[in-house]
Chains A and B, each alone.
Chain A
Amino acid sequence: MKTYLPARFRVRRDDERCIRCRVCERQCGFDVHHYDEEDDSLYCDDEKCVACHRCVVFCPTGALTVEKNPLSYRENYSWRPEAIEDLMKQAETGGILLTGMGNDKPYPIYWDKLLLNASQVTNPSIDPLREPMELRTYLGRKPDRIDLAAGNIGRWTRRAPQVAIETPIMFSAISYGAISLNVQESLARAATEYGTFFNTGEGGLHKSLYKYSDNAIVQVASGRFGVHQEYLDAARVVEIKIGQGAKPGIGGHLPGEKVSAEVAATRMIPRGTDALSPAPHHDIYSIEDLSQLIYALKEATNYTKPISVKIAAVHNSAAIASGIVRAGADIVAIDGIRGATGAAPKIIRDNVGIPIELAIAAVDSRLRAEGIRNQASLVAAGGVRNSADVIKAIALGADAVYIGSAALIAMGCHVCQACYTGRCSWGIATTDDYLMKRINPNIASRRLTNLLRGWSLEIKEMLGGMGINALESLRGNRHHLRGVGLSDTELEILGVRMAGS
């Protein structure tokens, strides 16, 4: 069927600069560039371009650029180009539209409407260059009280397992299969070097990554891929994946063509079969059932590891989180509407869930009101772009954050949203042998530790400015936030006051 879809981008080649080295042709995962020997010239299939900029960055003479197709549609507020093009694509295929990365729609980003405080005169600020600043964070259930019985002074009677991270930033769950082994190794190595955690996602832990298991959070999702005793024993934290911000309420399908021999071995399924993660866990239809799985995992790991439960931020997150804590979870991870994915139905990614900022505030407030905030750590995910977002998340009530997109961007991702094709030119969201070599774990892990270091330094500067020398003094301390451009209801839910008040 002839497609009625116009190209979204145009590749511009400056023929005077082009030296016919054909780097662009080799680098493009989408076959945009073609060399014609007879003409000694390079041509482009613009309609295949996803604007990932791989060719632009690697062109040695700077001959390439990618621009938006300037094609004009008749102005129409309702039938915008995206709506027309999505519809045509479905008319041509009859399928569900897929996309990658996080929600790109202009929903409010509350990070940008929250401002941090700083000390002036009355409460001196602290210079983190000369004074110790504490970013170390302990995740896990904290005791309800300190037992002061004789001989036991200051020691907790029954301390639940704790894990320490040196900075409140962990790498989000990204499964092997959605990303290459090299990418997961880069995340694992950076987490190990910096003293934080990476998360296996639901695709299992490849045998070559067991050496990083001291810094691994392993997931147990509805498909139970690669879940076995050794996997549970290796991890520091076991996370039950209920939902994901990019696709709340639905499962996942890793198509058979991405299930290579190594992916199959890690997921413990036959090569080439679809890996279907059903939407629900078939043993969890209630909070009581969730509790049963939490304690099954505690039994399976002999109560030595915190059990985390990850949910997508949805309308009733506060009540759900309360249930999760009462079910026995040691960590509650919440993924907001801007959380990313390797593949999700576009209609779900763009329309389901709520912003993480509101969810953190609502959950933290609810757990405090019920007197159970100490019983679980709160990890926020979905749309954290910089260190200010991290510190605002903590001031709203999170203990730590997960970063996924930010980590991939650090390794080269240009957020072209074509992860679901498996043809990532940056070698990230692919398991293709040729493409995946583009991520060198030595270099990519350095880029990631650089990111963690840069953000951690900035967090210390901001903390010092507020006159705080330990991150835990900021947790849920919403007096250090003020809102701008927010309605009374938004301010109330966020639990912050208007700037100037």
Chain B
Amino acid sequence: MAEKNKSQAAHAHDDQHTQEHFREKHLMLDPLPRGQMNDMVMEAMTSKPTWKYWLTVIILGSIVLYGLGYSWYRLIVEGLGIAGVNRPSYWGIFLVNTVFWIGISHAGTFISAILRVFKAEFRRPFTRIAELMTTFGLVQAGFSIFMHMGRAWLSYWLMPYPNERLLWPNFHSPLSWDLLAITTYLLSSTMYLFLPLIPDLAMARDKSTGWRKTFYRILAIGFRGTEGEWTHLRHAMNIFAYAIIPVMFSVHTIVSWDFAAATRPGWNSTIYGPYFIIGALHSGMGAAAVVLAVVRGTMKNMTYFIRGEHFDAIGKLMLIISMGWAYFYFNDYIVQWYGGDKWTKALLHFHEAGPLGWMWLSMLIVNIAIPWAVLWNSKWRSNPWIISIVGILINVGMWFERYLIVPVSLSINRMPFTWRLYIPAVEVYLSLGTLALFILFYVIASKLIPFIPVWEVQEGQLAHKLSKFGRETVVTVSELE
């Protein structure tokens, strides 16, 4: 009898230990009262900014003013001649950045929509941080296109309306498809960001005073949480989650057609659509890991919401995407190499052994070798610092990839007498300006927008519980939606 009691006590102790282990590891199994979670999110948002915060704002603001303000002003006043673009590389860093920022924007939709459709529960605390990346990234992409246009104030000519000569824009060019695709994606992703934000804005309204109360009251548009409001919201979010995925795929595919539809060596590839998409996801997921690590490390109470399990899950996705990118890159490479076209061979040789050969090699190392060497290990990929370093490196690698595709590939064409290496000029400052603005948007948003979708976290916590299967304790999820 005494032995039986002893054994029962040992089992109870083991159960308790297992439960503590699960609570520590999984946010969904570590619920806090909703009020407390609200307070934690509000505290992170409304706490008095430190000197470090202001210093960051001043530094980023200065870069934005110089890079985007002064340098763009110069570009407008003095013309595109002060940029490095010239024959044969008419497309320079502006379009490298356009492709890069559109790529970054893909992670938001991927995390929010695709993981929502597949009910991947780990997505819950960081969907908003990712969705913000989509909107902020697309703004930078839009700016980069306007810079490339030169006369940015005439960009409305792209809109489908008849001009003074009664000519309508025709839709035969991939560049006009770009306008439609990027506009559709920017509008859709902003609406998709706003819809699930409404209940959190209502929470912020209820918890605020002063100017914040007015600010959130306006943004919460009168949401109370009635059955009808939730029903409409749930249906709309469902439609968005499904419909925005093909839109996301179409955007980067169309961007790839800007290149693939041309008959230039290196560009004329039928695999460019999916290759660009996987590249977009590669850089986007890397950026998401970095943003998540920074938010966790710099904002109050975020260690509760963003845990090792989330980095672990993102790390797995990064590893799979890295493998996918390697597959598509090799597919594109081998067919061009095998084709035997003289100019394509010259271009491939220029990529690998030309003056920017180091860029080509670095691209392969940081996009393939480093993620594969690091992300297979769950301990390493659960570490915010390690995964964010890998994320930064992937983004550097993906930027290199776009640089090789755009100006470097344009340097080599079928007319050797025009060959010339592109050397960027004012574009460098403008690029730094867009990067600084992207970060600045996050820094400002961290004080205005609830980064954690508290209602989604609570919904997830209600659905999760620990169940016993024989002697094993496992996590089970109920389908509440």
State whether these chains interact: no
